[in-house]
Structure 1
Amino acid sequence: MTDFPVHTLETAPQAARPALSGLKAAFGFIPNIAGAMSTSPVLVSSLAALFQNVHGGSFSERQIQVLLLTNAVTNASEWPVAFHSYLALQQGLSQADVDAVRDGRLPSEPGLAALSHLARTLIETRGRLAQADIDGFLGAGFSREHLLEVIAVTAASTITNYTGSVTRPPLEAPFDAYAWSRP
């Protein structure tokens, strides 16, 4: 269990409430990880702003979920893996592709595989991509803008992945079926 409270709009520090309200509007509820994160208004506000930018960028929601799920698995953060497994399925990713990413493999669709591979490589190399990694991503039909946008998605997921690993928030009931543990 966690020593970090999972705040609500009523219990969160005043400075964290606007960010929590925005996340509630986006998801229809306040995810437990955001409630735990709101102990730091700076952290939850940073995530909310980055979240808005990432989800308003050039990737589809399906592509974003592949990136976020890949990042959560690569960072071995249990709450985000469950959450993004659920969201990826909601965005039309196949169960086989969700299972592949959860197992550290690539999705079957070439474009999604290129996204997942780049995301994992970016984290594993701490941003020091080889030219072959960049060329492979660009060769899959993505642009330099996309490459840099993957960094923004990685920044957002780093916030949630690290927060999940530090605070260990409880998993909400709708995500129980997607619980995951590091292999």
Structure 2
Amino acid sequence: MPRIPVHTVEDAPAEAREGLRSLAQKMGKVLNIHGEMAHAPVVLAAYQGIQKAIEEHGTFDARTREAIALAVGAANDCAYCQSAHTAAGRAAGWSEQETVRIRSGRVDFDPDLDALLSVAREITSQRGEVEERTWKSAREAGWSETQLTELFTHVALNLYTNYFNHYAQTELDVPKAPGLD
């Protein structure tokens, strides 16, 4: 059972309504995570601020962004984000099997992406620390220092949502990702 009320656009705090309305239009409905974030407008605004920065300044395509989200969600064991990003990953062009493999860390079908996701998984699981060999492998795979720096923002956004879902005990309102208990 969720710890935080899930708001609709109509009953959300006034400061959160426009942001929640925007997300509902983008997603087709108010997702539970967004409705919960709206309970404290600062939470929703911070989330949307990071998203806006990525939209305006980010360079990764949708497939790469979703692969990062899947890898981070799996590293954090966030069922909600793994499920939501499985659907978004499918919309971005990944097959269901590829989303499962990305989540499990078996990205042998794209060694360059695997190198990037290895950095993302280490940032996540090692509290920001990345082994030198992992960094070097990503650089050798062609990822620039700028892209590896940008990666940190994508990981941070996903950490934000993963941790919020654990904290709020968000109930799943999207199709459950394959392989989750």
The question of a shared fold, defined as TM-score above 0.5 by the shorter chain, is answered with: yes
Equivalent residues in 2 for 1:95-174, closer than 5 Å:
95-106=96-107, 108-172=109-173
Identity of aligned residues (%): 27
Do the aligned residues in 1 keep the contact of 2:120 with 2:151 (CA within 8 Å)? yes
Q: Aligned AA for 1:53? A: A
- Stretch moving more, 10-19 or 147-156: 10-19
CA distance in 2, matches of 1:104, 1:79: 18
Match of residue 54 from structure 2: 54
Do the aligned residues in 1 keep the contact of 2:13 with 2:38 (CA within 8 Å)? yes
List runs of 5+ in structure 2 lacking aligned partners: none
CA distance in 1, matches of 2:32, 2:109: 31
CA distance in 1, matches of 2:5, 2:179: 22
CA distance in 1, matches of 2:135, 2:106: 19
Tell me how far 1:23 sits from its aligned partner.
Answer: 1.8
Tell me how far 1:45 sits from its aligned partner.
Answer: 0.4
TM-score by length of structure 2 reads: 0.90
Matched, 1:16 2:16: yes
- Stretch moving more, 71-80 or 89-98: 89-98
Q: Aligned AA for 1:133? A: T
TM-score by length of structure 1 reads: 0.90
Matched, 1:5 2:5: yes
Match of residue 45 from structure 2: 45
Matched position secondary structure for 1:176: coil
Q: Size of the alignment, in residue pairs? A: 180
Tell me how far 1:71 sits from its aligned partner.
Answer: 0.7
Tell me how far 1:107 sits from its aligned partner.
Answer: 5.4
- Describe the shift of the 1:177–1:123 C-alpha distance in structure 2 as closer, same or farther (beyond 3 A): closer
Matched position secondary structure for 2:127: coil
Matched position secondary structure for 1:152: helix
